[in-house]
Amino acid sequence: MIPIRDTIPTRTRPVVNTALIVINVLAFLFELSMGSDLDAFIRTFGLVPTHVSAALARHDYAAIAIWTLASMFLHGGWLHLGGNMLYLWIFGDNVEDALGHGLYVVFYFACGIAAAAAHVVFNAGSTLPTVGASGAIAGVLGAYLVMYPRARVVTLLPIFFYVTFIEVPAPIYLGLWFVMQVLSGTAQITHATRHAVEGAGGVAWFAHAGGFICGVLLAFLLPKRARPAIYDEPPRFSRRRYGW
| 9-149+169-223 CATH fold | Rhomboid-like fold (1.20.1540)
Specify whether the CB–CB gap between 103 and 55 falls below 8 A. Answer: no
Q: Check residue 202 and give its pLDDT.
A: 56
Specify whether the CB–CB gap between 211 and 117 falls below 8 A. Answer: no
- Higher-pLDDT residue of 89, 200: 89
Question: What is the C-alpha separation between 220 and 111, in angstroms, rounded?
Answer: 14
Residue 125's pLDDT is what? 85
DSSP letter string, 24-87: HHHHHHHHHHTGGGHHHHHHHHSB-HHHHHHHHHTT-HHHHHHHHHHHTT--SSHHHHHHHHHH
pLDDT band at 184 (very low <50, low <70, confident <90, very high): confident
pLDDT of residue 201 exceeding 80, the answer is: no
Please report, rounded to a whole number, the percentage of residues in the chain having pLDDT higher than 70.
85
User: What is the structure's pLDDT at 181?
Assistant: 83
Segment 44-59 shows an average pLDDT of 93
Does residue 179 surpass a pLDDT of 50? yes
User: What is the residue extent of each domain of the chain?
Assistant: 9-149+169-223
Name the CA radius of gyration of the chain, rounded: 18
Q: For all residues of the chain together, what is the average pLDDT?
A: 86
Q: What was the pLDDT predicted at 230?
A: 47
Summarised one tens digit per residue, pLDDT across range 142-166 is: 999 999 999 999 998 887 778 888 8
For position 241, what pLDDT does the model report?
Answer: 45
Q: Is it the case that residue 237 has pLDDT exceeding 50?
A: no
pLDDT 10s digits, 8-50: 988 899 999 999 999 999 999 999 999 899 999 999 999 999 9
pLDDT band of residue 189 (cuts 50, 70, 90) is low
For the chain, what percent of residues have pLDDT higher than 90? 64
